[in-house]
C-alpha cells in the first residue's frame, strides 16, 4: 500500500524539477523566437529562410540526443539504485561521444549549407539569407552537443536549477547580441541575418563553458581514470540501446517535418512564413507539457531504479492529466488572440488570416501532442524505448506526411489542410501510447539489475 501512495510524496520533487525545466525550456525556445521576432522587423524573407535553416539544424541536433536520452535514463535509474560509479561512467562516456559527434555535425552543416538548402528547395531570393545563417550557426553545433549532455546529467540528479540559471544568462546575451548585430547598434556593424547567427553561436558557447564549470563544482568533481580502465563498454552499449531508438523516434518526427516543410515551401513564401510564425507561437503552448514530461521522466526513472513500479505508473497518469489540461487552456488562449498576435508580427493580410485559422485547428492538435510528449518520455524512463520508435515511424509517415501531402497539395487545402493532418497524427499516436502505459508492459524493461 505504501507504494500506491508514493506519487503523493514524489510530487514535491516533481515540482522542484518541473519549475526550473519549464523556465529553462522556455528560454531555450526564446533563443529561436528572439531571432524570429527581431528578424521580422528586418525582412519576412529572412524569417522564412531562417525557419527552414532551423528545421535542418534542429534535425542535426537530434543526433546528439542519441547519447543524451540514454544519459538521462541511465543516470536516473542508477541514482535511484544508488550506483554512483555507474553514473560517473555514463556521464564521462556521453561527453566523449557527443564531442566527436558534435565536431562531425558542425563540419557537415558549415560546409554543406548550400547543398542542403538547395535540396530543401529554398528559392534563390531566400538562399542568400539561409546560407549565411546556416554556415555560422552550424559551424558551432558542437557547443550545443556538449551543453545538452551536461544539462541532461544535471537534471537527472535533481539539479535542474543550474541549467535554468545558465539559460537566463545566455538569453540576455543573445538578445543584446541580436539587437547589436542585426541592426548595427552600440557601434556594431549591421549584419542582418548573419548578425543573428553570430549572436546565437556566441551565446551557445558561453552556455557550454558555464555548464562544465557547474558540472565539476556541483556534481562530478572529477572523472577518475580507473573508472574507465577497462573502458565501460557496458555503459556505452546501454547508452546506445536507449539512445538509438529514442533518438530514432525524434529523428523520424523531425525528418518528417523537414519533408513537410518542403511541401509547404511549394505552397509559396506566404505559407512558409506563416508556418514559421505558427511554429514559434505554439512552442509556448506545449512548453509546460515538455517540462512536466521531462521532470516526470526523471522521477519515474528514480522510482523504477528503486523497484517502485506501481508508484511510477500512478505518477505517469498524473503527469499526463496535468499536461493535457494546461496545453488545452493555453492553446485556446492562443487561438482567441491569434489575429492580434499575427498583426504584431506582420502587415501581410494573407499571413494574418492563414495563421489565425491554423491556431484554431491547433487547439485539438495540442491535446494529442501533450500525451505524446508525456508518454514517450515516460516509456523511455522505464526502459521501454523501442515501442515509441515503432509507433512514431509508422504513424508519422503514414498520417502526418501522407495525409499532409494529400490534404495540402493533392486536394489543394493548403497549409490548413496540412495542419489537419498533423492533428490526426498527434492524436492517433496519443491514443496508442495511453493504451501502452495502461498495459504495464514497460514494467520489466529497466536497466538496474
On whether residue 385 sits in a domain, the answer given is yes
Listed residues 206, 231, 256: the one ending a domain: 231
193 and 51 belong to one structural domain: yes
pLDDT at res. 1? 37
The whole domain housing 212 covers 7-231
Query: For 337, how many CA atoms within 13 A lie in the half-sphere containing its CB?
Result: 13
On whether residue 430 sits in a domain, the answer given is yes
33 and 107 belong to one structural domain: yes
CB 319 within 8 A of CB 18: no
Where does 228-357 show beta strands of DSSP type E? none
216 and 248 belong to one structural domain: no
Peptide bond into 108 cis (omega under 30): no
Is pLDDT of 175 > 90?
A: no
299 and 412 belong to one structural domain: yes
Listed residues 231, 254, 286: the one ending a domain: 231
Q: Could you tell me the three cell numbers for 373?
A: 510528449
163 and 102 belong to one structural domain: yes
On whether residue 128 sits in a domain, the answer given is yes
140 and 227 belong to one structural domain: yes
206 and 94 belong to one structural domain: yes
170 and 70 belong to one structural domain: yes
pLDDT single digits (tens) 116-160: 888 877 888 888 888 989 999 999 999 999 999 999 899 888 888
On whether residue 328 sits in a domain, the answer given is yes
> Which among 66, 58, 101, 62 is positioned nearest to 380, based on CA atoms?
66
Is pLDDT of 91 > 60?
A: yes
CB 20 within 8 A of CB 159: no
231: left (phi over 0), alpha (psi -120 to 50) or beta: beta
The Cα–Cα gap between 318 and 296 comes to: 9
pLDDT at res. 7? 52
138 and 207 belong to one structural domain: yes
CB 272 within 8 A of CB 10: no
Burial 353-379, CB ≥16 within 10 A → b, else e: ebbbbbbbbbbbbbbbbbbbbbbbbbb
Q: In sequence order, what DSSP letters do the residues of 3-70 get, joined into one string?
A: TTTHHHHHHHHHHHHHHHHHHHHHHHHHHHHHHHHHHHTT-HHHHHHHHHHHHHHHHHHHHHHHHHHH
pLDDT band at 8 (very low <50, low <70, confident <90, very high): low
212 and 278 belong to one structural domain: no
> Which among 375, 360, 206 is positioned nearest to 289, based on CA atoms?
375
The Cα–Cα gap between 411 and 378 comes to: 37
Q: What is the dihedral of CA 63, 64, 65, 67, to 10 degrees?
A: 120
Query: For 231, how many CA atoms within 13 A lie in the half-sphere containing its CB?
Result: 7
Q: Could you tell me the three cell numbers for 387?
A: 515501442
pLDDT band at 212 (very low <50, low <70, confident <90, very high): very high
Backbone angles phi, psi at 169, to 5 degrees: -60, -45
pLDDT at res. 4? 44
Mean pLDDT value of segment 413-425 = 94
Q: Could you tell me the three cell numbers for 393?
A: 515511424
pLDDT band at 63 (very low <50, low <70, confident <90, very high): confident
On whether residue 395 sits in a domain, the answer given is yes
> Which among 400, 406, 401, 407 is positioned nearest to 422, based on CA atoms?
400
On whether residue 2 sits in a domain, the answer given is no
59 and 120 belong to one structural domain: yes
| Domains held by the chain: number | 2
224 and 254 belong to one structural domain: no
Is pLDDT of 250 > 80?
A: no
Number of continuous H segments (helices) and E segments (strands) in the chain: 17, 0
Listed residues 165, 196, 231: the one ending a domain: 231
On whether residue 447 sits in a domain, the answer given is no
On whether residue 444 sits in a domain, the answer given is no
CB 44 within 8 A of CB 348: yes
Report the percentage of the chain scoring pLDDT > 70.
97
Amino acid at each position: 500500500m505504501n507504494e500506491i501512495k508514493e506519487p503523493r510524496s514524489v510530487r514535491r520533487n516533481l515540482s522542484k524539477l518541473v519549475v526550473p525545466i519549464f523556465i529553462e525550456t522556455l528560454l531555450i525556445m526564446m533563443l529561436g523566437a528572439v531571432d524570429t521576432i527581431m528578424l521580422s522587423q528586418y525582412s519576412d524573407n529572412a524569417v522564412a529562410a531562417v525557419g527552414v535553416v532551423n528545421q535542418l539544424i534542429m534535425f542535426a541536433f537530434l543526433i546528439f540526443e542519441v547519447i543524451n536520452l540514454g544519459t538521462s535514463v541511465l543516470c536516473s535509474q542508477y541514482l535511484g539504485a544508488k550506483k554512483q560509479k555507474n553514473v560517473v561512467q555514463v556521464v564521462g562516456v556521453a561527453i566523449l561521444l557527443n564531442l566527436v559527434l558534435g565536431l562531425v555535425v558542425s563540419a557537415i552543416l558549415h560546409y554543406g549549407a548550400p547543398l542542403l538548402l538547395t535540396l530543401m528547395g529554398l528559392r534563390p531570393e531566400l538562399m542568400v539569407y539561409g546560407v549565411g545563417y546556416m554556415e555560422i550557426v552550424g559551424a558551432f553545433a558542437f557547443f550545443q552537443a556538449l551543453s545538452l549532455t551536461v544539462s541532461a546529467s544535471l537534471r537527472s540528479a535533481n539539479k535542474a536549477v543550474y541549467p535554468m540559471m545558465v539559460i537566463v544568462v545566455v538569453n540576455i546575451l543573445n538578445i543584446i547580441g541580436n539587437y547589436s548585430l542585426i541592426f548595427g547598434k552600440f557601434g556594431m556593424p549591421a549584419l542582418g541575418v548573419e548578425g543573428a547567427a553570430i549572436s546565437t553561436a556566441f551565446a551557445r558557447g558561453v552556455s557550454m563553458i558555464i555548464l562544465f564549470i557547474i558540472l565539476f563544482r556541483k556534481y562530478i568533481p572529477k572523472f577518475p581514470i580507473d573508472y574507465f580502465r577497462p573502458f565501460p563498454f557496458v555503459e556505452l552499449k546501454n547508452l546506445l540501446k536507449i539512445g538509438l531508438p529514442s533518438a530514432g523516434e525524434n529523428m523520424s518526427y523531425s525528418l518528417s517535418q523537414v519533408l513537410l516543410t518542403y511541401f509547404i515551401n511549394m505552397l509559396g513564401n506566404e505559407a512558409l512564413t506563416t508556418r514559421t510564425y505558427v511554429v514559434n507561437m505554439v512552442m509556448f503552448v506545449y512548453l509546460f507539457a515538455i517540462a512536466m514530461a521531462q521532470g516526470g521522466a526523471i522521477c519515474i526513472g528514480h522510482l523504477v531504479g528503486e523497484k517502485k513500479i506501481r508508484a511510477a505508473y500512478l505518477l505517469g497518469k498524473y503527469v499526463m492529466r496535468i499536461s493535457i489540461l494546461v496545453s488545452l487552456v493555453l492553446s485556446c488562449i492562443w487561438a482567441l488572440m491569434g489575429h492580434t498576435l499575427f498583426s504584431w508580427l506582420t502587415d501581410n493580410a494573407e499571413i494574418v488570416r492563414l495563421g489565425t485559422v491554423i491556431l484554431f485547428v491547433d487547439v485539438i492538435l495540442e491535446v494529442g501532442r501533450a500525451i505524446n510528449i508525456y508518454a514517450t518520455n515516460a516509456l523511455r524512463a522505464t526502459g521501454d524505448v523501442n515501442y515509441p520508435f515503432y509507433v512514431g515511424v509508422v504513424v508519422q509517415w503514414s498520417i502526418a506526411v501522407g495525409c499532409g501531402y494529400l490534404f495540402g497539395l493533392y486536394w489543394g487545402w493548403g497549409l490548413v489542410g496540412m495542419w489537419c493532418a498533423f492533428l490526426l497524427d498527434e492524436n492517433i499516436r496519443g491514443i496508442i501510447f495511453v493504451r501502452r502505459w495502461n498495459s504495464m508492459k514497460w514494467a520489466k524493461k529497466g536497466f538496474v539489475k
